[in-house]
A and B are shown apart, each in its own frame.
Chain A
Amino acid sequence: EAQVTQNPRYLITVTGKKLTVTCSQNMNHEYMSWYRQDPGLGLRQIYYSMNVEATDKGDVPEGYKVSRKEKRNFPLILESPSPNQTSLYFCASRGGYSNTEAFFGQGTRLTVV
């Protein structure tokens, strides 16, 4: 089954404690991205990657890091989480040229206290 898998689904952490949210896709997609979803603000892109070792900032990259060492994996790293990073996070992947459909993971609900 084609899917994007995020882990964990829920996470409560304390300010400053480094964390990683993993994302993996099994569709051999080149393009992967991370979004955060907040009430009234919709989905905002954090980082994206057009292929292995090719990442770039989205609209709200501050406080986040990513890496793309393998095509299937695109982890999101919060080196020093703060309460304003409490949000619902989605990983998404897309196929090749002219493919507009994004496949989303199930989401990670992060709370930073």
Chain B
Amino acid sequence: QKEVEQDPGPLSVPEGAIVSLNCTYSNSAFQYFMWYRQYSRKGPELLMYTYSSGNKEDGRFTAQVDKSSKYISLFIRDSQPSDSATYLCAMPSSRYSSASKIIFGSGTRLSIRP
């Protein structure tokens, strides 16, 4: 079983829709949860991160963590064509992130139709 599982998609939704992207993980020790966005032919960029359980909002983006279910989500409201990208969830393998590696999900490819 992979430590981090993510549905690869592709996911195609109309402009303005609410998008839900999800990951599950197996290691209950994970405490930091990150979402990276990767545009075509580019390297991933950090979009949001959260610590422990709960919600974090940044503009149209909301990251949600449910540690009891080992499940994290990224919601995109009022989706725009510019949101079309691959979204990767990621978690440092230990609390002391400078000494740990980051484990990435395989990424979900999202396409927003104008």
Residues of A within 8 A of B (CB): 4, 30-31, 33, 35, 40-43, 45, 48, 50, 58, 90, 92, 94-102, 104-107
Docked complex Cα distance between A80 and B88 (Å): 31
Q: A30-B98, A97-B96, A100-B92 are in contact. Are A42 and B42 (CB under 8 A)?
A: no
The residue from A90, A97, A104 contacting B98, defined by CB atoms under 8 A apart: A97
Docked complex Cα distance between A88 and B77 (Å): 31
Interface size on B, as a range, is: 20 to 34
CB nearest to A58 among chain B residues: B101
A106 touches B43 (CB 8 A): yes
A104 touches B96 (CB 8 A): no
A-B contact count (CB 8 A): 60
Docked complex Cα distance between A100 and B44 (Å): 14
B101 touches A101 (CB 8 A): no
Residues of B within 8 A of A (CB): 6, 8, 32, 34, 41-46, 49, 88, 92, 96-99, 101-102, 104-107
Question: Apart from A40-B106, A98-B96, what are 7 other A-B pairs with CB-CB below 8 Å?
Answer: A40-B8, A42-B6, A42-B105, A43-B104, A98-B98, A105-B43, A107-B42
CB nearest to A9 among chain B residues: B41
Shortest CB-to-CB span from A37 to chain B, Å, is: 8
A94 touches B98 (CB 8 A): yes
